[in-house]
Structure formats: structure tokens, C-alpha cells
Amino acid sequence: MTKTIILSVLAIISIALSFFYDVKKPESTPAETATASLMLYPIQTGEDIARALELPPLPLDLSEPVDSAFYKRHSRKLGLKLDYNEDKDLLETITKWLGTPYSYGSSTKSGTDCSGFVTRIYSDVYGIDLSRSSRSMFDDVTRIRKDSIRTGDLVFFRRGPKQPIFHVGIYLKDNKFVHSATSGGVMVSSLKEPYYRNYYYAAGRVN
């Protein structure tokens, strides 16, 4: 009899403790809930995170990262300080032409003159067909001030007043331009060099 009473009392105590535990058990913290939710979902995008946490979509930037290796490589080859937002097609195409020897009247990677080089770059990069000679190119562009030159604009040279234009190149940045010179073929030069500073005439933009 005594044993039965003891067992009954223990059972009542057990039930009471169980009820008390359920009532007093603290609710999960937000951090615990978030962790549990995240474990249930494969996290790949901001929307996945928002769905797991029951929050509005997160403004995560999942765009393609800047190809720093590309810009570093072409910065060295072209001798330019790049901002990592330049036209990659233009940089890559120009780089492939560097060192091409000068050849009057030609426009191939076996040899090219200044206007032939410019027409090929514009055709390959921009899909634009330019006039074949530097003089006719100048007639087709919109004149712009020297302090307004942008990457891709054309720079023209002549030997003096009333003299015809004899040379053309493509402006890059920081006073640098790429062209096919009679003395060295396709190369990057500076408008600050005495020769090009003396013979620089005007800049033009292809519309």
C-alpha cells in the first residue's frame, strides 16, 4: 500500500514538473530562429536569405565581379593607368595590334598604315565603317575641344597651317593615343611628346 502511494505521488510530481517545464520554457531567440531557418534553405541569393528569415529581399550585389586580372594585364601592355571600367573589347583589340609594322596602304596585322589601323579598330570594336584616309575621316567627325577628348575619339595631325592632315590615331586616356607610326608601327604614344605636340591639329568624335 505504501509503495503504491509513493509511486502515485512520484507520478503526480512528474506530471507537474512536465507541465511546469512546458509553460516556463523560454521561447527561441530571434538568432536561434534565424539559424534554424537558414539551415532549412540552400542560400544562393538575397531572395533565399529573405525567404529563410521572412524578411524583405536583401539588396545584395550579385553582379559579375570586376576582372582585375584583365585590366592589370592590359594596363602593363598599354602603359596606361586604368580605372577598371574601360571598354574591354577596345583594350583587347588594340593590344592584339601592338607591334604590327607600318605598311602604307595596308590594313592587316601583317602591316598597316595609320588610317588602315583606325578603320579596322572601329570596324572590329564598334561595327562602324570609316572613310579610308585620315583626311576624309576628319571631314566625317564632329570637332571637339582638346580638353573634352574621350576614349575612342580620333586625334589628327598636320605639319602646319593650311597643310593637309597626314596622320590619325585613337585617343585612349591621360594624353595617350594608339596609332600606326611610320617609324615603329602600331604603338601607344603621348600627345605631350614634342613631335606630336607640335603637329597636333584637332580631335574629332565619330557619331
**pLDDT digits 0-9 by tens, 2-54:** 555 565 555 566 655 555 445 444 555 555 554 554 454 455 555 555 555 55
What pLDDT, on a 0 to 100 scale, did the predictor assign at position 54? 59
Alpha-carbon distance of 27 to 179, in angstroms, equals: 73
The grid coordinates listed for 146 are 582638346
pTM: 0.69
Instruction: Decide if 179 is catalytic.
Output: yes
**Residue for cell digits 509503495?**
3
Q: Considering the domain boundaries, does residue 124 fall inside one?
A: yes
**Pairing relationship of beta strands 142-144 and 111-112 according to DSSP bridges:** unpaired
**Kind and range of the H or E element at 207?**
none
What CATH number corresponds to the domain at position 136?
Answer: 3.90.1720.10
Within this chain, do residues 18 and 72 fall inside the same structural domain, yes or no? no
Q: Considering the domain boundaries, does residue 58 fall inside one?
A: no
Instruction: Decide if 114 is catalytic.
Output: yes
Q: How many domains does the chain divide into?
A: 2
Q: How confident is the model at residue 66 (pLDDT cuts 50, 70, 90)?
A: confident
Active-site annotation holder among 120, 158, 176, 179: 179
Active-site annotation holder among 114, 154, 155, 168: 114
Alpha-carbon distance of 44 to 107, in angstroms, equals: 49
Structural domain including 148 reads 68-205
Within this chain, do residues 35 and 98 fall inside the same structural domain, yes or no? no
Q: 178-199: per-residue pLDDT in tens?
A: 999 999 999 999 999 999 999 9
- Cα–Cα distances (Å) from 48 to 58, 106, 133, in that order, read 9, 57, 57
Active-site annotation holder among 120, 158, 167, 176: 167
- Cα–Cα distances (Å) from 59 to 46, 62, 66, in that order, read 7, 9, 19
Instruction: Decide if 121 is catalytic.
Output: no
